[in-house]
Every structure is written in C-alpha cells, then in structure tokens.
Amino acid sequence: MSERPIDRTLTADLLARHDRPGPRYTSYPTAVEFDEGVGRETYARHLARADAAGDAPLSLYLHLPFCESRCLFCGCHVIITPHKHKAAPYLQLLEREIDLVAEHLPHRRRFSQLHLGGGTPTYHSPQELERLLLHLRRSFTPTSDAELAVEVDPRVTSLEHIAVLAEHGFNRISLGVQDFEPNVQEAIARVQSVELTRTLLDASRARGFKGINIDLIYGLPFQESRSFENTVERTIELCPDRVAVYSFAFVPWIRGHMKKLDESDFPDREQKLRLFALARERFLDAGYEPIGMDHFAHPDDELARARREGRLRRNFQGYAVIPADDVIGLGISAIGDVQGAYVQNEKKLSDYGAAIERDQLPVARGVVRSEDDELRRALIHELMCNFGVDVRALELRFGINFAETFAEDLRRLEPLVDEGLATFDGESVKATPTGELFVRNLAMCFDRYWREKHEGDDRPTFSRTV
C-alpha cells in the first residue's frame, strides 16, 4: 500500500471550504503580479548582473508555440495553423533573439538545462529543429551532465524527430496523453491511441532517453472512476519513468476555446478528487514515488532521488533535478528568472517580431522581487516541492524570527491545522497526507499578494486548487 494514503471519502464539506481559485505557484510572485514597468531595460540590467555573477550554468527555455489543431483542454500560449510554412519566420526570429541575449552574456554561455516547450515543438520538421539547435549551440554550450528535455505530441512526432533530438543530446522527453478513453478524447479534440503512444515511448527509450514522462489530466469531460482507472493502468503498462497527473484548469475567461466544453459533462468536485486519489493509489502501489503535488517517479529515477535527498526544485517547466540560478526564456510569452527578476516576453507574435526586428529584447512585463518576495518564494517553494518547511533553516538563511515574521500567516494556517491538513510544531510546517491535496491552499496562507489583492475578489483569475 502507498506510503501516503489519501482518504477517498473526504467530505463534501471539506472540499466546499477549500476547493477554490488559487495560484499553482510555478513562481512567486505569480504571473498576475507582473507589471509592464519591468521591460527590456530592466532585463538588460539583470542580464548584466547574471553575466558578472560567475560561470554557473544557465537554464534555457525555448517556447515553440505552433500546433496543427487546438486541443480544448489546453491552457498554453499557442498558435494554430495547419500550414507549416507560416511558422518558418518564427524560427528565424527566435534565432535572432538567441543572438541578442547571448550578446548580453559574453562570459556566461554554459547551460545545465534546456527545455523545448509549446505549443508542439515537433510541429516543426526534424530539419528545422536541427537548424535551430545548431544555431543555439553556436552561442550556448551544454554542461557534460546537462538535462535536455522536450515536450511532444505523439500524433505529430516521427521517429526521425526522435533520432534528430537524440543526436543533439536530448535525454528527457514528455509525452502528452491526458486520457486514453475514446469518448474523453473526442470531447477534448485529442484522439490518440495507446499503440501510437507506446511506439514513440519505445523509440525514445531505444535512443537513450531517460526520465520519460507521460502527462495525464483529471477533471476532463466524461471522466469517471472506472474509465480513468483504465487509463492509469494502461499508463502503468507503458512503464514511463515519470508521470504527471494534472488537475484540469478550466479557465474560459483566459482561453476562449474552453467555452466549447460543456461544464455539465465535467465530473463534480467530489468525483474529481476521487479520480486523483485513485490515480495516486494505483501509481504508488505500482512502485512509483510521489513527487510534489502531482508527479510520480520510479524510485531509481533522478526526480525520486532528488526528492529523497532534498534537492528537488520547481520552476515554470515543472519539477527539476538540475537547478540553475538563472533561467533564460526565449520565444513569445516565455518567462525568464534572472538575478531576482521575472521577465516575460511579448505574447503577440507581431509585437515580439517588431521588437526583434529593432534588435530589442522583446520583454513586455515582469517583476523585480523584494526581500519579502524572496523569503516567501523560498517558503512556498519548499511546500510545493517537499510538503514541508524547516523553520530553523529558513531563519538562518534569511536572518528572521519565523514566528514574528509570519505571525499573520500562521493565524491563517491555524484552521487548516485544526482540520488535519497541516501541522506546525514550531520547528516545521508540514502538510498531512490529506493536506497534500490542498498544498496550494497551504501556500496561499503565506502569499502576501493573495491576502492583500486577490482574496475575496470575485473576478476569475486562477484555476481551482483541487
């Protein structure tokens, strides 16, 4: 049985109190706090600081936004067109941005992490990807142990794609699945067979990819316990090294295409929780270990080892093993984290292209973190990665008295402690097994921006926490 069991019979009252809109905390402050006053000049200053900060390797993220068709569950920033020639100019702009950023980092060109996300990176032909990677390597060089990762849609990814990526050092791959049930796939416009997924997974493993991940989503239309259990069992049979089981973020006020989904087809909140509890139980019984709030990994996978050793990290690309002090985001909407500042590129292709054509860094907004932001960022990061915070370690790192600094936050935590979702004994804050389901709610107790700006605001901003 699992090391962290979850009671499937959680009361509707508990869910009613705590299943509410809230951040996912891929960053703190979260992206809703980004300000247009932080632009290219700020970014240039922080890149200069990064260049002067030593030779520690960078993390690079490249956003490749194009897709052939739209999946109705998708919350990513994408551009839909079946006409692939229309995407070629974007790759040229991306190459020019790589050159622009590299000019600001003359003494810091090594990277320990490279992530191709989207969109669908393999929307582009193997030859186009190869050209892009060759261009990147003219300016930036991977460390000997670098993690090179790519997100793929098995429906448009060929064996030639896998071969080219492997030849260029890629060793991590994430396969989007979501659900294997035909009626669910049809509802979300993502029809994909088990066989297709297996073929790509086996080919990736044969080419030396490790840490192979499969993405699932719970809370989609027509999902119910028996069918989702079938999806989980089929996933276990495929034997990926890692699995992500994400809560469906229904945000039609941000992604208008989600209005095509009928909310009456969604599982209710109790059923949705049961779907995750079922998945968690099956994956843990199959030998996977829990990683953060929604990932699972084989015990010998690097994520599992990092979790056991307290090295687990989290950024905009998910949970990570090889941390980097500075993250460089490239491409439309990409977010970087450089020397205490988050910066996000222009979201519109026309604005992004116009900046690049003027040889300007295409940053549209961001936030420079304060000392208080850094403190709360560290605390929330520990909660989201390890479900607990070492009070003394935080006090020593930041020179604070925990009880005094977080007096208001701890008052907000008290009801969750009383309900058995967390513990606080003066030495640590920890989520209980049930509280792990509500870890976003625990983090919200320590989120100053939530408390001062968003709590009680009826305007839709965030997805639901469970």
How many Å apart are CA 367 and CA 43, to the nearest integer?
Answer: 10
Identify whether residues 55 and 198 lie together within a single domain.
yes
Residue 207 and residue 70 in one domain: yes
Per-residue pLDDT at 28 exceeds 70 = yes
Question: Does one domain contain both 200 and 148?
Answer: yes
Residue 194 confidence class, pLDDT cut points 50, 70, 90: very high
Question: Looking at the structure, do residues 22 and 101 belong to the same domain, yes or no?
Answer: no
CATH code at position 393:
1.10.10.920
Mean pLDDT over 57-66 rounds to 96
Residue 21, classed as helix, strand or coil, is strand
Confidence check: pLDDT of 2 > 50? no
Residue 465 has pLDDT above 80, yes or no: no
- For residue 198, tell me if it sits in a domain: yes
pLDDT at 6 exceeding the cut of 60: no
| 453: pLDDT strictly greater than 90 | no
Q: What percent of the chain has pLDDT over 70?
A: 94
In this structure, what CATH number is given to the domain that contains residue 65? 3.80.30.20
Token match 């590129």: residue?
Answer: 345
Question: Is the pLDDT assigned to residue 142 strictly greater than 50?
Answer: yes
**For residue 42, what are its two tokens?**
């700020």
Find the length of the chain: 466
CA distance 295 to 241: 11
22 and 40 co-located in one domain: no
Residue 348 lies in a domain: no
91-138, pLDDT tens digit by residue?
A: 999 999 999 999 999 999 999 999 999 999 999 999 999 999 999 999
Q: How far lies 12's CA from each of 265, 366, 417, 427, 432, in Å?
A: 19, 39, 18, 32, 19
Task: Judge contact between 176 and 137, C-beta under 8 A.
Answer: no
Q: What is the pLDDT of residues 250-282, one digit of tens each?
A: 888 888 899 899 999 999 888 888 898 899 899
Position 1 scores a pLDDT of 34
- Higher pLDDT: 239 or 22? It is 239
One domain, residues 51 and 147: yes
- Same domain for 53 and 75, yes or no, is yes
Domain residues for 90?
Answer: 32-327
Question: Above 50 in pLDDT, residue 8?
Answer: no
Average pLDDT over residues 243-252: 90
Query: Is 357 within a domain?
Result: no
The mean pLDDT of 280-297, rounded to a whole number, is: 91
Supply the DSSP string of 417-458, one letter for each residue: HHTTSEEE-SSEEEE-TTGGGGHHHHHHTT-HHIIIIITT--
- Which of 173-177, 252-256, 453-457 is predicted most confidently? 173-177
How many domains is the chain partitioned into structurally? 2
Are 41 and 14 part of one and the same domain? no
The whole-model pTM stands at 0.92
Kindly give the pairing relationship between strand 66-67 and strand 422-424. Answer: unpaired
Out of 46-60, 96-110, 336-350, 448-462, which region has the weakest mean confidence (pLDDT)?
A: 448-462
- For residue 284, tell me if it sits in a domain: yes
